Amino acid sequence: MDSEILENLKKAVLEYDSESAANWASQAIKVGIDPITVLDALTVAIRDVGEGFARCELWLPDLIGAADAMQAVMPIIEDEIKRRGAARETLGIVVSGTVFGDIHNIGKDMVNTLLTAEGFEVHDLGINVSPQMFVEAVEQYSPDILAMSALMTMTAPEMMNVIAALKQKGLRDKLRIMIGGGAITEEFAMSVGADGYDPTAPGAVRLAKRFVGKE
């Protein structure tokens, strides 16, 4: 029965069915399946979608749909993990956010979902995040990676302000910084002093794994 529930959960993610995914996750918890096991099943499903996207067999709407389905499930799993006092081995800690003045979140959310699926502990600051908020989060969580997103050309320079604020606090050299979004290019990433850039969500995850020595 457990295996059937987990297979149905993976199927719901692969079919981008958020409601069904949440229902199967709740059923898994109800019958006593370890939440870490449930999360591992989700990881398999979301990784399949990410790899399909990387092979150009799936497209952006597929990635968004699968990410939405996983996000519908994560609160259920996280609550059960906290209730049990369980822990999942993490690859590293990531603080992420969309920079000040920018309210776009689709790309950031996809990256966060894939990072979580791969085993990163992700602290999402949301959208319209000021340099001071980024600095405070870095001080609070001591992340291995800071991930910033900007969709608009007019907001991309905010990334320089964040990096400058980190330098002022003596925090810049304590983490790796990766940036992305529609307004970002490899040249821009180098010019602002970021450690890396990738134009796709799966690529961002590979970059993060390289940063922590896992790829």
**CATH code of 161's domain:** 3.40.50.280
pLDDT of 1 higher than 90: no
Domain boundary among the residues 52, 67, 84 is at 84
Could you tell me which residue, 28 or 89, shows the higher pLDDT? 28
pLDDT at residue 88 tops 80: no
The tens digit of pLDDT for each residue in 148-200 reads: 999 999 999 999 999 999 999 999 999 999 999 988 999 999 999 999 999 88
- For residue 38, the enclosing domain spans 2-84
Q: What is the pLDDT of residue 54?
A: 79
> In this structure, are 79 and 110 located in the same domain?
no
Which of 151, 149, 141, 150 lies closest to 120, judged by CA? 141
Q: Are residues 114 and 167 in the same domain?
A: yes
Sign of the C-alpha dihedral, residues 59, 62, 68, 69? negative
- Judge contact between 84 and 32, C-beta under 8 A: no
Residue 78 shares a structural domain with residue 173: no
Residue, of 50 and 112, whose pLDDT is higher: 112
* Measured distance CA(101)–CA(30) in Å, rounded: 42
Q: Which of 53, 84, 115 is the last residue of a domain?
A: 84
What pLDDT is stored for residue 47 in this prediction? 86
Whole-model pTM: value is 0.82
Q: Give the span between the Cα atoms of 117 and 119, in whole angstroms.
A: 5
Q: Report whether 72 contacts 166 (CB < 8 A).
A: no
Among 62, 84, 106, the domain-final residue is 84
